[in-house]
Amino acid sequence: MAIAPVIEVEELVKEYRGPLRIEGPLGGLRTLLTRRHVTRRAVDGVSFSLGAGELVGYLGPNGAGKSTTIKTLTGILRPTSGRVRVAGLVPWRERERHARNIGVVFGQRTQLWWDLPLRDSLELVGRLYGVERARHRANSAHLTELLGLGPFLDTPVRQLSLGQRMRGDLAAAMLPEPRILFLDEPTIGLDVVARERIREFIATRNRQDGTTIVLTTHDLDDVERLCRRIVLIDEGRVLYDGDVARLKERYAPHRRLVVQLADGGDWRGLDVPGVERDPDPDRGAEARAVTLRFDPARVQVAEVVAAVLARHAVTDLSLIEPGLEGVVHGIYAAREAPA
Ligand SMILES: Nc1ncnc2c1ncn2[C@@H]1O[C@H](COP(=O)(O)OP(=O)(O)OP(=O)(O)O)[C@@H](O)[C@H]1O
């Protein structure tokens, strides 16, 4: 028997009704005063499902409808139409039971009590969720260690740095041991060290506890590091749903080999079919570097390297895999280009 998905979204539609936006002189003021309203479709027939223990990147450009989807899945918003089940519950109808299954972190705002020390915020979360005392103590201690909260547990939340606050938010979300975690931009504005710590935490929770995680982010390094699967949306519709690796193969099949020629070396070409010199090498400014582009389905890396070494004196070689950033931008650009 097939295992039921933990998250099921079918033909989700969410429309917002708002005043008609008026352009031109005093447009802002006229928009405020107008009585004319329009309906805008923020999510336009999104469907996907997630199995237990999956970690999926939910991506899209600004205004694509990511937050609207997450707010519907967390029970904050009621959709215009469509069917949603999260752990078997309809989020906006069975809010209390649903809240016990999920943890939510919105990077842009905190769920902690601004004026209270972090320790008290965690205490309150434990009480609100009815976490039994011994479990609360054990979970708090565990999360404090994993997220390195010790040095600022007694600091009021308002005095925490963004990275510290985010770690506090993650601890609060995980304290009641939710099966499902929604993370909306959890690394936004953080420095490299803080970002890495949060990524490590997310990966560990997913791997060790099997927590199902939906991650929304504009930082594609988060996705490269954490997600095998992405759901890419734009203008409220799903553009792609599947493996990150397959997405790259489909949209960026080429690899690049950067060849650093020895002093005095000249590029005399290479006669291997399927290998081209990159017309616009990113490393053009670098002395004596030549970038070759090839499709590994047609010609193997080893073959290209052997051919280069046979003809040229080389000081270094490096292989560049396509980054998700370029692939995703390429998809958006293709969509925007006139037909
Ligand atoms: N409360 C609201 N009232 C009216 N329109 C809204 C509301 N919230 C969002 N929208 C609109 O719905 C669309 C989708 O917004 P949403 O916040 O879901 O996008 P997003 O993908 O999360 O964007 P971002 O990456 O910028 O956070 C946008 O056009 C936005 O302006």
With a 6 Å cutoff on the Cβ, whether 16 touches ligand 1 is: yes
Q: For residues 184 and 21, which has the higher predicted lDDT (pLDDT)?
A: 184
Q: Whose CA is nearest to atom 29 of ligand 1?
A: 63
- Residue-wise pLDDT for 214-231, tens only, equals 999 888 888 989 999 999
Residues 233-249, mean pLDDT to the nearest whole number: 89
138: its two tokens: 């054990």
Beta strands 212-216 and 55-59 are parallel
Residue with structure tokens 């009480």? 127
User: CB of 127 within 8 A of CB of 205?
Assistant: no
Residues 278-287, mean pLDDT to the nearest whole number: 58
Residues 5-13, mean pLDDT to the nearest whole number: 96
Confidence class of residue 194 from pLDDT cuts 50, 70 and 90?
confident
With 80 as the cut, is the pLDDT of residue 260 above it? yes
ipTM of the complex, rounded to two decimals: 0.97
The Å distance, Cα 129 to ligand 1 centre, comes to 30
Rounding to the nearest 10 degrees, give the CA dihedral for residues 307, 312, 315, 320. -40
With a 6 Å cutoff on the Cβ, whether 67 touches ligand 1 is: yes
With 70 as the cut, is the pLDDT of residue 268 above it? yes
- Pick the atom of ligand 1 nearest to 43's CA: 14
The number of CA neighbours under 13 Å toward the Cβ of 246 is: 8
With a 6 Å cutoff on the Cβ, whether 42 touches ligand 1 is: yes
The Å distance, Cα 291 to ligand 1 centre, comes to 41
Residues 172-191, mean pLDDT to the nearest whole number: 91
The Å distance, Cα 155 to ligand 1 centre, comes to 34
The Å distance, Cα 36 to ligand 1 centre, comes to 20
With a 6 Å cutoff on the Cβ, whether 79 touches ligand 1 is: no
With 80 as the cut, is the pLDDT of residue 36 above it? no
The Å distance, Cα 60 to ligand 1 centre, comes to 12
What is the layout of strands, in order, in the sheet containing 314-320?
Answer: 275-277, 289-294, 255-261, 314-320
232: its two tokens: 């890419």
- Residue-wise pLDDT for 50-106, tens only, equals 999 999 999 998 889 999 999 999 999 999 999 999 999 999 999 989 999 999 998
With a 6 Å cutoff on the Cβ, whether 18 touches ligand 1 is: yes
**Helix H or strand E segment including 291:** strand 289-294
- Pick the atom of ligand 1 nearest to 68's CA: 18
Residues 320-336, mean pLDDT to the nearest whole number: 77
With a 6 Å cutoff on the Cβ, whether 64 touches ligand 1 is: yes
The Å distance, Cα 257 to ligand 1 centre, comes to 41
Question: What stretches of 271-319 show up as alpha helix (H) in DSSP?
Answer: 301-311
The pLDDT value recorded for residue 287 is 61
With a 6 Å cutoff on the Cβ, whether 39 touches ligand 1 is: no
Mean pLDDT of the chain: 88
The Å distance, Cα 63 to ligand 1 centre, comes to 5
CA 238 to chain centre: 15
Q: Whose CA is nearest to atom 1 of ligand 1?
A: 16
24: its two tokens: 């031109």
With 90 as the cut, is the pLDDT of residue 146 above it? no
Choose the residue to mutate in 17, 43, 67, 78 for probing ligand 1, maximizing ligand atoms within 8 Å of C-beta.
67
Sign of the dihedral defined by the CA atoms of residues 134, 138, 139, 140, in that order:
positive
The pLDDT value recorded for residue 143 is 92
Q: Whose CA is nearest to atom 11 of ligand 1?
A: 42
With a 6 Å cutoff on the Cβ, whether 21 touches ligand 1 is: no
The Å distance, Cα 68 to ligand 1 centre, comes to 6
- Residue-wise pLDDT for 284-305, tens only, equals 555 678 889 888 888 998 999 9
With 60 as the cut, is the pLDDT of residue 2 above it? no
- Type of residue at 11: E
Q: Whose CA is nearest to atom 26 of ligand 1?
A: 62
- Residue-wise pLDDT for 90-125, tens only, equals 999 999 899 999 999 988 888 899 999 999 999 999
Q: Whose CA is nearest to atom 7 of ligand 1?
A: 16
With 90 as the cut, is the pLDDT of residue 24 above it? no
